[in-house]
Amino acid sequence: MVILLGVTALLTAWASWIGSLHGGNQAENFAQSNNLSAEGNSMYNEAMQFMLQDMLLYNELMNVLIDMHFAETQGDEPTYERLTWRFEQLETNMSYEFEAAFWASFEDGASPFTNPDFVDSYVADALYVLAEAEELFEQAGIYGGVSDSFGLVTVFFTVALFLFGVASTFKMRRNKLIVIGIASGAFVIALVFMLFLPLPADFSLTQFFGN
């Protein structure tokens, strides 16, 4: 009986400890997920602002090109030169990606902002960060579920520990065997359940006690 009490006590402590490690991983992943979500949303908003600026710049560039073409057809050289200078000044505000898409749009005959791939390029980094945040959030949920399962195992081991201890107080052999049988059932259920639960990621005893 003393051996059963000792083994049950050790397994109870083990289940409680592993459950707390999973709980710690859950909290850490939730914190990282929240941080990445905030960062990703900030990046997304910033990307939308950049895209809006490029859309306004695109409209202004197209208006200047139209005026340049009109001045050229009218033979208005001074106006054409002034507009050319204006276009060159505006062109300095173009990013490399936007400039490439701008000139490519003349071949396609459509605004670069009608190209889904070009539009998505603005928010690609933000979406990557948000996807990583979502992955961490889901992993935190998994850790939380496993932590709760270890908590349930701890409850079963605690019940078994209590019943093993109480069994010794019964004088009638029949009653004692009944209590021991119930305790053994709780012990086996907890042990089998625990064996199917995963350990924390990269878990190693050496990290706690040294190499």
pLDDT digits (tens, 9 = 90+) for 163-206: 888 887 777 878 888 888 988 899 999 999 999 988 887 766 66
Q: State the amino acid at position 22 in one-letter form.
A: H
Residue 163 has what pLDDT? 86
Q: Is the pLDDT of residue 209 over 60?
A: no
The sign of the dihedral angle between the CA atoms of 55, 60, 61, 65 is positive
Residue 205 has what pLDDT? 63
Phi, psi of 196 (to 5 degrees): -95, 0
> Higher pLDDT residue, 153 or 170?
153
d(CA 126, CA 54): 18
Of 59-68, 72-81, 163-172, 182-191, the least confident: 163-172
d(CA 90, CA 67): 14
Whether the CB-CB separation of 58 and 113 falls below 8 Å is answered with yes
Residue 104 has what pLDDT? 86
Residue 179 has what pLDDT? 85
**The pair of three-digit structure tokens given for residue 119, joined into one six-digit string:** 């539009």
d(CA 126, CA 41): 7
Closest of 21, 16, 47, 20 to residue 130, by C-alpha: 47
Of 17-26, 57-66, 72-81, 165-174, the least confident: 165-174
Closest of 199, 200, 195 to residue 157, by C-alpha: 195
Contacts of residue 16, defined as CB under 8 A and 6 or more positions apart, other chains included, come to: 150, 154
- Could you tell me what percent of the chain has a pLDDT over 70? 95
Phi, psi of 109 (to 5 degrees): 75, 25
d(CA 172, CA 19): 38
> 67 burial class (0-12, 13-18, 19+ CB within 10 angstroms)?
middle
Whether the CB-CB separation of 136 and 31 falls below 8 Å is answered with no
Residue 206 has what pLDDT? 61
- What is this structure's pTM? 0.74
